[in-house]
Chain A
Amino acid sequence: QIQLLQSGAELRKPGASVKVSCKGSGYTFTRYGISWLRLAPGQRPEWIGWIGTYNGQTNYAQNLQGRVSLTTDTSTNTAYMEVRSLRSNDTAIYYCARGMSTIFGVVLDVWGQGTLVTVSS
Chain B
Amino acid sequence: EIVLTQSPGTLSLSPGERATLSCRASQSISRNYLAWYQQKPGQAPRLLIYGASSRATGVPDRFSGSGSGTDITLTISRLEPEDFAVYYCQQYVSSPWTFGQGTKVEFK
Contacts and interface: CB of A to CB of B under 8 A. Distances in A.
A108 B35 contact: yes
A35 B95 CA distance: 12
- Tell me if A's interface is mostly helix, strand, loop or mixed: strand
A61 interface: yes
Contacts of A10: none
Interface in A81-121: 95, 97, 102-109, 111-114
- Tell me if B's interface is mostly helix, strand, loop or mixed: loop
Interface size class of A (residues with CB under 8 A): 20 to 34
Of A44, A95, A102, which is in contact with the most chain B CB atoms at under 10 Å from its CB?
A44
Interface in B20-78: 31-33, 35, 37, 44-47, 50-52, 54, 56-57
Contacts of A95: 44-45
Interface of B: 31-33, 35, 37, 44-47, 50-52, 54, 56-57, 88, 90, 92-93, 95-102
Interface string A30-64: 00000100000000111100000000000101110
A102 B32 CA distance: 12
Of A97, A106, A108, A109, which is in contact with the most chain B CB atoms at under 10 Å from its CB?
A108
Nearest to A95: B44
Nearest to A61: B96
Contact of A112 (B37, B44, B57): B44
Interface in A69-91: none
Contacts of B97: 35, 47
A101 to B, nearest CB: 11
